[in-house]
């Protein structure tokens, strides 16, 4: 009961965090993750680098590492764009909730997995660990955000005005 | 009495709608459009109040046949306000306002013309319908021409815009907007019919009035003149009520349609989800370990979660996929490839040396990807019709 109620509170917190985020960072219409990340950078006043890597069995599908001046989010490139969006949202969820990842790979191992990134930009990136509760929180935030993206209908300004007036 | 109740009922509904819109102005993103809509509903309320038989009788006691010119003037004002709403919907406020200002003098001119032609002395006492008086009272013909022409032109502009809006709208909202188009089309027909009746009376120099000898139509469609004067407008009113009703409720109705669609998608994904998550239960572990009660979440979240779990599991299965195939091959082929990968993994075949290729799927957003997976799931269900037993058999054969 205690565990369940703490998850209920966490669920409410996640929803509140997403609501607060979407008040300041609108989901672009038509949907574009790059545009969303640009807006998120402006909101957080920190750069975010997206890094695609080839997922192989045994590795994580995504990771996030904060640096002094910027954040790096890695995501598996060998899956569909919508699935990649979820992975990125998951890492954004860690970011929003202020989680602290622990790195378990060396720089050499990380460079081997993503050789196209400059070494200075990629350090201790992959296979960062998070607490199980942190994972739940990030996953819920990602699911809520992706569900919002699913509701986006390509609307021009005319459509938006008509709906605003008549509905 | 019934007619009066209907008119006053519509007026009260329109007035309440105006008040609700006024209250919503606090949160409106486009205040000018919101104000235009409020004023449009208020004009509609005033028109229906003026057109109600008891109001007409009261006004006619003060000014003979004054109820007619009041009703006509308010009808034109309501039509103009409807046009203003479409202009503020079509254009941003800074472009809509000049367009409204250019059209406003025409309304003022028409209203002045109506009141002037009505106020001129007439040899006959006016009793509602001008039919039969056109040849002897050319000013009444002018009145009717000005009224019908302005009403028709305004409704054509309005109807054209509602037609364009309807093509952009989701289903139930589009129904409401198309009902506005229908009401406008019938209104244009009514205006045209008035001109045709006028023309007929002028050509034949007829003195026949609409309805009975007093010019009153006791039934809406008892004659052609009564159909034009009473039945037609009454039909337009009923359609207008339906249009406003659908537009107001369309958010809920389209939301309900979307909910039903989400439930359908959730069920369609089930056979594929059962099998691939049985092969890779770790994709469910985060939720299970955290004690997340997914049944309590709304269908949007549950559907999104199901989609993600399927995609996570397919990525984990990707090393066992036979090479070849892209994102354009048929759902049936994809279902076969997934089944082959599941069998290869369960039979503990060694991992191929090649790097896992991309997991097939459309390049679009989550909606397209989900629709694709639904088609794959339907095909999968055909080749593995008992997904739970398939999952159990695969687990047992692997053991």
- Mean of the pLDDT values across residues A15-22? 91
pLDDT tens digits along B30-60: 788 888 888 888 998 999 898 888 888 888 8
CB contact under 8 A, B365 and A55: no
- Burial of residue B349 (CB within 10 Å: 0-12, 13-18, 19+) is exposed
Q: What is the pLDDT of residue B398?
A: 45
Q: Of B212, B338, B232, B355, which Cα lies nearest the Cα of B277?
A: B338
Distance from CA of B222 to the nearest CA of A (A): 36
CB contact under 8 A, B305 and A143: yes
Between the alpha carbon of residue B337 and those of residues B320, B341, B376, the distances in Å are 9, 6, 10
pTM to 2 decimal places: 0.70
CB-nearest partner of A164 from B29, B291, B292: B29
Q: How many CB atoms lie within 10 A of CB B20?
A: 12
pLDDT tier, B384 (very low <50, low <70, confident <90, very high otherwise): confident
Q: What is the pLDDT of residue B387?
A: 58
pLDDT tens digits along B310-355: 999 999 998 888 766 555 578 898 999 899 889 888 887 665 555 5
A49 three-state secondary structure: strand
CB contact under 8 A, A143 and B308: yes
CB contact under 8 A, B37 and A166: yes
pLDDT tens digits along B177-192: 999 999 999 999 889 9
Is residue B98 scored above 80 in pLDDT? yes
Is residue B13 scored above 80 in pLDDT? yes
CB contact under 8 A, A149 and B363: no
CB contact under 8 A, B89 and A158: yes
Judge contact between B304 and A147, C-beta under 8 A: yes
Q: What is the pLDDT of residue B228?
A: 66
Is residue B394 scored above 50 in pLDDT? yes
Nearest CA in chain A to B254: A167
- Mean of the pLDDT values across residues A42-51? 94
The rounded mean pLDDT for chain A is 81
Query: Which residues in chain A are contacts of B37 at CB distance < 8 A?
Result: 165-166
Q: What is the pLDDT of residue A124?
A: 47
CB contact under 8 A, B173 and A163: yes
Q: Name the more confident of B345 and A85.
A: A85
Contacts of B326 (CB under 8 A, 6+ apart): B360
Distance from CA of A80 to the nearest CA of B (A): 6
Nearest CA in chain A to B354: A56
**Given CB atoms, is A151 within the 8 Å cutoff of chain B?**
yes
pLDDT tier, B282 (very low <50, low <70, confident <90, very high otherwise): confident
Which among B41, B266, B365, B368 is the top mutation candidate for probing chain A, defined by the most A β-carbons within 10 Å of its own β-carbon?
B365
The span from the CA of B46 to the CA of A33, in Å, is 50
pLDDT tens digits along A95-130: 988 887 654 455 555 566 666 665 555 544 444 444
Which among B89, B181, B341, B371 is the top mutation candidate for probing chain A, defined by the most A β-carbons within 10 Å of its own β-carbon?
B89
Query: Which residues in chain A are contacts of B29 at CB distance < 8 A?
Result: 164
- Assembly ipTM: 0.82
Q: Which helix (H) or strand (E) holds B236?
A: helix B232-279
- For chains A and B, what is the number of CB pairs under 8 angstroms? 153
Q: What is the pLDDT of residue A51?
A: 93
Q: What is the pLDDT of residue A127?
A: 42
The span from the CA of B93 to the CA of A68, in Å, is 45
Query: Which residues in chain A are contacts of B171 at CB distance < 8 A?
Result: none
- Mean of the pLDDT values across residues A19-29? 91
CB contact under 8 A, B356 and A78: yes
Nearest CA in chain A to B294: A140
Q: What is the pLDDT of residue A129?
A: 45
Q: Of A90, A60, A65, A92, which Cα lies nearest the Cα of A76?
A: A60
């Amino acid at each position: 009961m205690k565990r369940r109620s703490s998850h209920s509170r966490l669920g409410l917190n996640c929803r509140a965090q997403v609501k607060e985020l979407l008040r300041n960072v609108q989901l672009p219409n038509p949907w574009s993750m790059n545009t969303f990340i640009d807006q998120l950078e402006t909101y957080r006043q920190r750069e975010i680098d997206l890094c695609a890597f080839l997922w192989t069995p045994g590795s994580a599908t995504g990771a996030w590492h904060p640096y002094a001046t910027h954040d790096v989010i890695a995501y598996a490139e060998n899956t569909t764009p919508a699935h990649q969006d979820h992975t990125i949202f998951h890492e954004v969820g860690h970011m929003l909730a202020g989680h602290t990842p622990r790195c378990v790979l060396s720089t050499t191992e990380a460079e081997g997995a993503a050789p196209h990134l400059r070494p200075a930009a990629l350090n201790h990136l992959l296979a960062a660990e998070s607490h199980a509760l942190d994972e739940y929180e990030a996953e819920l935030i990602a699911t809520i955000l992706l569900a919002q993206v699913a509701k986006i209908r390509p609307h021009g300004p005319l459509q938006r005005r008509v709906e605003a007036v008549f509905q | 009495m019934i007619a009066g109740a209907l008119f006053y009922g519509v007026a009260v509904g329109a007035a309440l709608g105006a008040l609700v819109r006024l209250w919503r102005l606090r949160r409106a993103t486009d205040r000018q459009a919101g104000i235009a809509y409020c004023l449009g509903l208020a004009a509609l309320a005033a028109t229906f109040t003026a057109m109600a038989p008891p109001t007409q009788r009261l006004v006619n006691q003060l000014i003979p046949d004054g109820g007619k010119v009041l009703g006509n003037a308010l009808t034109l004002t309501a039509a103009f306000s409807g046009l203003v709403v479409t202009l503020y919907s079509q254009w941003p406020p800074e472009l809509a306002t000049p367009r409204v200002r250019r059209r406003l003098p025409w309304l003022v001119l028409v209203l002045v013309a109506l009141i002037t032609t009505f106020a001129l002395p007439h040899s006959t006492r006016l009793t509602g319908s001008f039919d039969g008086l056109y040849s002897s009272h050319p000013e009444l013909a002018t009145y009717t021409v000005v009224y019908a022409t302005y009403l028709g032109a305004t409704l054509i502009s309005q109807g054209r815009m509602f037609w364009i809006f309807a093509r952009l709208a989701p289903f139930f909202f589009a129904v409401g907007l198309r009902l506005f188009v229908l009401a406008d089309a019938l209104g244009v027909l009514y205006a045209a019919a008035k001109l045709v009746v006028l023309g007929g009376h002028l050509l034949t120099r007829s003195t026949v009035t609409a309805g009975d000898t007093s010019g009153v139509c006791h039934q809406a469609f008892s004659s052609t003149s009564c159909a034009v004067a009473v039945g037609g407008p009454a039909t337009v009113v009923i359609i207008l009520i339906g249009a406003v009703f659908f537009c107001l409720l369309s958010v809920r109705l389209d939301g309900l349609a979307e909910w039903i669609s989400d439930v359908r998608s959730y069920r369609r994904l089930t056979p594929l989800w059962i099998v691939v998550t049985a092969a890779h239960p770790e994709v469910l572990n985060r939720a299970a370990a955290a004690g997340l009660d997914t049944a309590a979440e709304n269908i949007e979240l549950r559907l999104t979660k199901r989609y993600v779990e399927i995609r996570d599991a397919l990525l984990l299965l990707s090393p066992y996929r036979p090479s070849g195939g892209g994102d354009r091959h048929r759902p049936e082929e994809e279902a076969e490839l997934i089944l082959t990968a599941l069998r290869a993994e369960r039979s503990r075949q060694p991992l191929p040396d090649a790097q896992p290729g991309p997991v097939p799927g459309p390049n679009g957003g989550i909606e397209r990807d989900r629709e694709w997976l639904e088609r794959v799931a339907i095909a999968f269900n055909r080749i593995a019709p008992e997904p739970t037993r398939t999952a159990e058999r695969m687990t047992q054969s692997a053991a």
